[in-house]
Amino acid sequence: MPVQSLARRSGKLEQPMASIRYDDASVRRIPFRDLRLADFTWSVPWRRFRSVHGQAHYSGQYASATMAGPVVYESRLELARLLLADMDPAVRGIHAQPCHLTARVGDRVRRHVPDFLLVMESGVVRVVNVKPADRLADPQVAEALAWPGELVERHGWEYELWSGADRVVLENVRFLAAYRRPGVVPRADIERAWECVRDGDLLGVAERRLAAGRPGHEARPALLALVWSGRLTTDLSRPLSGDWVLRRSV
């Protein structure tokens, strides 16, 4: 059902609106057609939440390398999408619960808070909603997520409904995330590994060359830090092993 202009009621504007919360506790309401990426500077997540014993969802804060600080999530599935975004070199910004949307859809005024807004290196803005695949089969859930997509795409931004990824890929990304923070592996070791590795090397071969007589496992962290950063790529659908084929991306 198409998104319509909001009827004027009690002084409300006649168009879809986005409300954004900022770190000084202020809230700004912006006509969605006027919304720009710059409006999210100094923004904070729309909802305030905390973990409570017995709650249905697993929520928390993830220390993002991309944002050099915490990004909130409200489920393990959201955390999985957040990890993938944090590892993606094409993602330059991540905003969780970026705004509160209000629009008239059919004969109802609908409200929605997207899960993430991703800022891509290309300048593209992507709004992401995360929902398990079995929930998307519910017509009511599908409808609730369809109108924000129409609104976002009509604005010239991208819209993504994400329900998960290959289990092995996610396990690899979770493991590699241990190497995401600056200083976990000394910068000098990472650059030495970069100079040592050759395009098409097997991980085990690169480890032995870099180790130069030391145990190979001592050289692995620097190579995995390069994989996390995207300077080295490999097939993450394969379990981690010395047979990973490493490709130089830059």
- Say which range, 29-33, 48-52, 244-248, has the weakest mean pLDDT: 48-52
Q: For position 51, what pLDDT does the model report?
A: 58
**Are residues 189 and 239 part of one domain?**
yes
Q: What pLDDT was estimated at residue 1?
A: 52
pLDDT band at 53 (very low <50, low <70, confident <90, very high): low
Measured distance CA(16)–CA(163) in Å, rounded: 26
Task: Give the per-residue pLDDT at 6.
Answer: 42
Residue 10, pLDDT > 50, answer no
Q: What is the pTM of this model?
A: 0.89
Closest CA to 112 of 98, 104, 100, 129: 100
Looking at the fold, whether 119 and 174 belong to one and the same domain comes out as no
| Domain final position from 130, 162, 194 | 162
**Rounded mean pLDDT of 156-172?**
97
Give Dmax over CA atoms of the chain in angstroms: 76
Domain residues for 38?
3-162
